[in-house]
């Protein structure tokens, strides 16, 4: 049997989608309340219209804009998208922070959540 090279799940990873987009409490078997990371919209934000190849795939949009598919949470959160099946569809125009602003405001912040025992 092949051993999985990942030793943690996304709630334990500093770059995981559950910990990088805000503050959480990590319990043994669940995540606590998540406080969203807030970023104000700016005039230089990128406009990205979803085409059929990106339907339901925020990870592909994140890779296209930021060269990091792990920033799919940013694409969703910045656009207040909860359900990718109904809200992340062809024709919808997304607003995204520039790669530079994402780097400065998000990627340089300490993440990982709070472990609650």
Query: Residue 38 contacts by C-beta under 8 Å, 6 or more apart in sequence?
Result: none
Q: How do the domains of the chain map onto residue ranges?
A: 39-109
What six digits make up the tokens of 18? Answer: 């559950």
Q: Determine the Cα–Cα distance for residues 22 and 34; give it in Å rounded to an integer.
A: 6
Q: Show the tokens assigned to 13.
A: 């990873």
pLDDT at 50: 98
Query: For residue 88, what are the β-bridge partners?
Result: none
Q: Does an H or E element contain 25, and which?
A: strand 25-26
Question: Model pTM?
Answer: 0.66
> How is 44-112 classified by DSSP, letter by letter?
TPEEEE--GGGTT-HHHHHHHHHS-GGGHHHHHHHTT---HHHHS-TTPEEEE--HHHHIIIIITS---
Band (pLDDT 50/70/90 cuts) for residue 1 is very low
pLDDT tens digit sequence for 12-64: 555 554 455 555 556 666 555 555 667 889 999 999 999 999 999 999 999 99
Q: What is the pLDDT of residues 59-97, one digit of tens each?
A: 999 999 999 999 998 999 899 898 899 999 999 999 999
pLDDT at 106: 72
């Amino acid at each position: 049997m092949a051993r999985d090279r990942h030793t943690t799940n996304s709630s334990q990873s500093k770059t995981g989608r559950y910990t990088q987009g805000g503050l959480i409490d990590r319990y043994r078997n669940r995540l606590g309340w998540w406080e969203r990371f807030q970023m104000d919209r700016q005039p230089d934000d990128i406009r990205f219209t979803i085409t059929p190849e990106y339907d339901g795939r925020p990870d592909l949009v994140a890779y296209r804009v930021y060269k990091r598919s792990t920033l799919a949470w940013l694409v969703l959160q910045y656009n207040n998208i909860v359900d990718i099946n109904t809200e992340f569809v062809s024709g919808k125009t997304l607003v995204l922070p520039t790669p530079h602003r994402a780097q400065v405001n998000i990627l340089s912040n300490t993440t990982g959540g709070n472990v609650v025992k």
